[in-house]
Structure 1
Amino acid sequence: MSAVFNFTFVPWFRSVAPYIHMHRGKTFVIGVCGEALAAGKMGTLAQDMALIQSMGVQIVLVYGFRPQVNEQLLTKGISPQFSHGMRITDAQTLDAAQEAAGQLRFEIEAAFSQGLPNTPMAGATVRVISGNFVSARPVGIVDGVDFKHSGLVRKVDVAGITRGLDMGALVLVSPFGFSSTGEAFNLTMEEVATKVAIDIQADKLIFLTEIPGIRVKPDEAASPDNPIDTELPLDAARRLLAKSPPGHSPTDTAFYLQHCVTACEHGVERSHILPYALDGALLLEIYVHDGVGTMVVDEKLESLREATHEDVGGILQLIEPFEKDGTLVKRSRTEIERDADHYTVVEHDGVIFACAALYPYPEAKTGEMAALTVSPASQGQGDGEKVLKRIEQRARAQGLRSIFVLTTRTMHWFLKRGFEPVSPEWLPEARKKKYNWDRKSQILVKML
């Protein structure tokens, strides 16, 4: 085995190990759009889900079949009918949907039943349990439009799904529901996945979709200057949703985002929107720090927010021990009071557990993140990463393309989170003049 491989593998494995540990015993609901299945992605998705399950994650898989139903109808000379962003399901459409659902269920179960030969999970056995886990009610007539056999989720069989997961199986749920009289209703994958995630109290809801995620500026085309917003606090997601038109098409900003917001508002702490076209998107989102899609996160359990003047005392109390041991440069109360609006804090029950400040240099399209501090009482719980993410969001909102830090003792923490070392000559002119050559701080930069 080559030394180069050893050199790259060991740091990589160490970097993903905390996420393997973090997610063990958790439950994920994964919603896969029909377009992903039509594109032939089920084989690699089965491999990745088997790998995730082998690392202790319980999985509920909900699949969609929009393009498959459309194809069935078009071959019969029938035009698909939609209204209010929902399919109108007449008798012929219901037949097409049942046929598509049955065929896809067969293909999915077959993908997990092959022993996954010639893959990283060769020889693995993934038991798949499917059934009538969802009861439904009709959409009815909305604004004069009769949706016929289109339905909404009435109830999720939580006990049935939980039993399947406790047996070590992957639970497969189709976008079909049945009434108490046995009538079938065509549902949407997105609603079913969201309701299942809420009712079984899942740790994550993940959508594999046609879009790469939510863009910082949703009205602008994809470009390096308009990247994916990898993390959206719930409040920010609500605001974006309020400004977006109704999501009738899967490529509309609101289409998946509305379900992520609903899930987070009802107890699912993290909801994700990932591109199915990217090979390994599930693994990259779950086990790599920055991920590859957009995560909507509910932060109601603690307050991650911009600081006010009332927080100055708490910030001083937090950073004082680190100033005394030389980890941080000493800052006066006057300086912190003057710059309070530059700070982001994590506050819980009136106590500040973490903070950092952003000092922008607009002429250089960069900003300095200073005074990143986490209380010893909460270290290892992710508060530092939360503050870093918020600082990155604030920097993007100000049009900055990078952030930089000066550090003498925490270089490796920043390197693991995408920062790269540069020389003092890289610094903006205004900051270079204040650089302390005696302190010899390392300068690290992260592109946004």
Structure 2
Amino acid sequence: MDLVFPHTFVPWFRSVAPHIHAYRGKTFVIGITGELIAAGRLNAFVQDISILHAMGVHLVLVHGFRPQVNEQLLAKGHASVFSHGMRVTDPVALDCAQEAAGQLRFEIEAAFSQGLPNTPMANSTVRVISGNFLTARPVGIVDGVDFMHSGVVRKVDATAIRRAMDIGALVMLSPFGFSPTGEAFNLSMEDVATEVAIALGADKLLFMTEIPGIRESLDDPDSPIDTEIALQDAQRLLASLPRPMQPTDTGFYLQYCVRACRGGVERSHILPFAMDGALLMEVFTHDGIGTMIVDEKLESLREATSDDVGGILKLIEPYEMDGTLVKRSRTEIERDIANYTVIEHDGVIFGCAALYPYPEAKTGEMAAVTVSPQVQGQGDGDKIVKRIEQRARAMGLDSIFVLTTRTMHWFIKRGFVQVNPEWLPEARKRKYNWDRRSQVLVKKLG
């Protein structure tokens, strides 16, 4: 039996809680490649999906079947034909696609029906609903190539999908659509997932893919994964890449992520299915594991509201306990909340500071300057200080000061100069704790 260590498990589980709260009732559209299933990853992936479902996330699952269709065609001695990055679906390929889709739907439903003890599926009840939620139209003839039964999404029945999710079901879609006359069209998983995410106004579109994400340097296969790319940067990157693209190309999934974000989906993700638990790590950790495309940086630097009191208390509590910060009560923070600036990422507060002005001395105290250990070294502290300086200038103050016992050098590097405590404004000097012997550092505002 595995041992559970409270000193690691409890802090980790608590750190996940804000994400659980944030995602309850949200809608995720998840696209999985047929390669994930062919690689034997389905059961582990379904377990992760069931955890999201148990946490109240509304889920739409779209599966692909490229390798399965290729296998069926090979067994029939029929060649797979691709053009412009799409399959040419002749009548034989259409039959193979229908066979593959039926088999995969059976396998996926069976995986969601398992309930073995001592697994994440124990005591889970995930009802899977699928149906004719998509209307399609033919690709037609492109540059002289007749794509025959290949199609693209024309319309998504978003109302019906929402009704299914509202009763607690997971909606599963195969990459098939039908015309108003009943003709079947073979679609791509990526097109279906993207159009469904846009139609639903999904909070996330996540692709489980053959690639690990977008690397920071496209010329270096060993460079780190770029965990967050702004939409404008993603569009520029996409424009620089050659076409048509194959699924293993950098831009293949990127083009759908860009389309989704432009269509109103807040975040779209490219994740490697080869990494066990990649979906959970992406959703429940700060930096994630793959690449996320966002319409704007998720990081938000803003003035605090009363809703932020709990987050600020949680952030500063460890520093109060070790003596870095002076202890502040909830009542005090609630009273002074308008003085606070916070920096948040995906709804979780990772940094804060407060500004207490002394207008008669044309200065202000920057207090409770805190950055979470999870993001230290990423520049959040500098951003908070700059925002406090902006607020001080807007109040007509000539300087700001801080009192610190442990972080003097950090402030000196940012233009603060040490002064004698006698420099403090009279009102602040009366509250100065001479036993604590805090250093006083001042920064002139130009």
> TM-score under structure 1 normalisation?
0.70
Partners of 2:5 and 2:299 in 1: how far apart? 41
Residue of 260, 265, 268 corresponding to 2:265: 268
- Pairing 1:8-407 to 2, within 5 Å after superposition: 8-221=8-221, 223=222, 226-299=223-296, 379=342, 381-382=344-345
Cα displacement (A) at 1:269: 0.6
User: Matches of 2:439 and 2:129 in 1, distance apart?
Assistant: 60
CA distance in 1: counterparts of 2:163 and 2:95, whole angstroms: 31
Q: Give every structure 1 segment of 4 or more consecutive aligned residues whose post-TM-superposition deviation is greater than 4 Å.
A: 1-4, 300-304, 374-378, 383-388, 407-411, 430-441
**Alpha-carbon offset, residue 18 of structure 1:** 0.7
Residue-by-residue CA offset, 1:332-381 (whole Å, 9 max, x unaligned): xxxxxxxxxxxxxxxxxxxxxxxxxxxxxxxxxxxxxxxxxx98566375
| 3-state DSSP of counterpart to 1:21 | helix
Taking only the aligned residue pairs, the percentage that are identical comes to 61
The number of residues matched between the two structures is 346
Amino acid at match of 1:79: A
- The one-letter code sitting in structure 2 at the alignment partner of 1:140 is G
Task: Say if 2:27 and 2:204, in contact at 8 Å, map to a contact too.
Answer: yes
Aligned-residue offset at 1:433: 13
Determine the C-alpha separation between the residues in 1 that align with 2:175 and 2:286.
32
- Name the counterpart of 1:414: 372
* Residue identity in the other structure for 2:53: Q
- Write out per-residue CA displacement over residues 259-312 of structure 1, whole angstroms, 9 at most, x where no aligned residue: 1011111110100000000000110000011100000011299999xxxxxxxx
User: Whole-Å Cα distance in 2 between the matches of residues 143 and 170 of structure 1?
Assistant: 39
Distance 1:123 1:302, change over 3 A: closer
Shift of the alpha carbon at 1:256?
Answer: 0.4
- The one-letter amino acid of 2:372's match is F
How far off its partner does 1:200 sit?
A: 0.8
Q: In structure 2, what is the Cα distance between the partners aligned to 1:215 and 1:270?
A: 18
Q: 1:4 to 1:192 in 2, by over 3 A?
A: closer
Give structure 2 stretches of 5+ with no counterpart.
302-323, 326-336, 352-365, 379-405, 420-436, 441-446
- Rg bigger for which structure? 2
* Matching residue's letter, 2:120: P
Per the alignment, in what secondary structure is the counterpart of residue 193 of structure 1? helix
Match of 1:379, SS state, is strand
8 Å CA contact 2:300–2:344 kept in 1: the answer is no
Q: Aligned in 2, Cα 1:34/1:4: closer, same or farther, shift over 3 Å?
A: closer
Instruction: For residue 414 of structure 1, report the CA deviation from its aligned partner.
Output: 3.0
1:238 and 1:44 map into 2 onto residues whose CA distance is: 33
**Which sections of structure 1, spanning at least 5 residues, go unmatched?**
305-325, 328-373, 389-406, 442-448
Cα gap change, 1:46 to 1:245, in 2 (>3 Å): same
Query: How far apart are residue 410 of structure 1 and its match?
Result: 5.0
- Check the 8 A contact 1:213/1:229 in 2, yes or no: yes
> Cα RMSD over matched residues?
3.5
Residue 287 of structure 2 aligns with an amino acid whose one-letter code is D
- The letter of the residue matching 1:146 is D
Q: For 1:137-162, what per-residue CA distance to the aligned partner results, in whole angstroms no more than 9, with x for missing partners?
A: 11000000000000010111111111
